[in-house]
Amino acid sequence: LQSDIISTVEFNYSGELLATGDKGGRVVIFQHEQESKNRPHLRGEYNVYSTFQSHEPEFDYLKSLEIEEKINKIRWLPQQNAAHFLLSTNDKTIKLWKISERDKRAEGYNLKDEDGRLRDPFRITSLRVPVLMPMDLMVEASPRRIFANAHTYHINSISVNSDHETYLSADDLRINLWHLEITDRSFNIVDIKPANMEELTEVITAAECHPHQCNVFVYSSSKGTIRLCDMRAAALCDRHSKFFEEPEDPSSRSFFSEIISSISDVKFSHSGRYMMTRDYLSVKVWDLNMENRPVETYQVHEYLRSKLCSLYENDCIFDKFECCWNGSDSAIMTGSYNNFFRMFDRNTRRDITLEASRESSKPRATLKPRKVSTGGKRKKDEISVDSLDFNKKILHTAWHPKDNVIAVAATNNLYIFQDKIN
């Protein structure tokens, strides 16, 4: 089913909950199972906790455009009380959802019978105090706020600020700053729309708030550059504070250089000192104090450089891969084709290719590293570039904030892997 294709994956701040959004506008939340003494091997089990329809398909009658219900991004808010809150967005509308548990219900009303029918007020001769009775656990999702009508173009990012009361949303040309309590207005903090749309040369591809400094955010562009902005400097952040760009190597220039340099994702490290960007062929780690080049570059699937022509023809070259950090910022992960995903250890510089597939992920089976042969003689365990399946792509991954537990979305399947304990 097309509607089952997973379009975003996100752990909450504790890692206890994992949310996925799909093309059909649904949000499915998984909860980490508490370990039991008699079944210690099940420590990584996540079971469905709540499922709800977040967005419905809509139609913009003025522009004669269909607005699809697909969930583009989910972002959790830090937990303040027993309930959980998350923001989910499609192309146009952001919603704040409250997910709460009910395991008691009130019984013994004065004005209505047990079956819910209203009683005749003249027959009520005594008052009784309603009591709370236990009932089966219910998990309820209710929309608390709807933030609409602020984006002319498609929303590609939402990011909760470290002050926990504002968040930003970005579309192709503008970034807006919202207060979580106020739905009828937002502040436009970046606007790169040219006066004449024919002069348009770049679009915003992703944006994120700094994890500790609530006045700092970054946004990436289709030209492969990243701008860091400081909201203390000006209300409209069209003039950036820092501009990160790697000079292009003239020897590797090709027809596809501009397309593959477009950044599909940007993520601050948990420490706030680094940020990571993903372009079509690589992942780069930047030190926020050094703008002229990244401090680390990791090749994700360099063997595709010779295949760019056919990837352009089948539109895969425009795929938007995301990337994520582990909890201690020592490792990073991003997806590739053929249901492969890549992990890079920043300390040892070792990297590994793993596969998320039904065959390779029987419960408690160990994942075997995969290798792609790049021409010449193919070794026994290697897969040739020509036999890779470009319809099986891993665009969305998430890493548990504390443990080595990862979530990998392969089309309409969600895989959860954990490091092995002997």
Tell me the CA distances in angstroms from 401 to 90, 269, 288, 407, one per residue in order. 25, 11, 22, 12
Strands 371-373 and 382-384: parallel
Nearest to 49 by CA among 72, 33, 35, 70: 33
Helix (H, G, I), strand (E, B) or coil at 198: helix
A 10 A CB-CB count for 403 gives: 16
pLDDT at 247 exceeding the cut of 70 = yes
What confidence tens digit (pLDDT) does each residue in 138-152 have? 999 999 999 999 999
**pTM for this predicted structure:** 0.90
Q: Count the alpha carbons within 13 Å of 350 in the hemisphere toward its beta carbon.
A: 3
Q: Are 67 and 59 in contact (CB under 8 A)?
A: yes
Q: What letter does residue 289 receive in the DSSP assignment?
A: T
pLDDT at 361 exceeding the cut of 90 = no
Tell me the CA distances in angstroms from 298 to 47, 136, 154, 333, 345, one per residue in order. 34, 50, 30, 10, 10
Sheet strand arrangement including 274-278:
265-268, 274-278, 282-287, 296-299
Q: Is 349 left (phi over 0), alpha (psi -120 to 50) or beta?
A: left
pLDDT at 40 exceeding the cut of 60 = no
pLDDT at 113: 82
Domain boundaries, the chain: 1-100+139-147
What confidence tens digit (pLDDT) does each residue in 183-218 have? 999 999 999 999 999 999 999 999 999 999 999 999
pLDDT at 158 exceeding the cut of 60 = yes
pLDDT band (50, 70, 90) for residue 315: very high
Domain 1-100+139-147: assigned CATH number: 2.130.10.10
Q: Are 8 and 396 in contact (CB under 8 A)?
A: yes
Nearest to 149 by CA among 88, 91, 233, 77: 91
H or E stretch including 342? Answer: strand 340-345
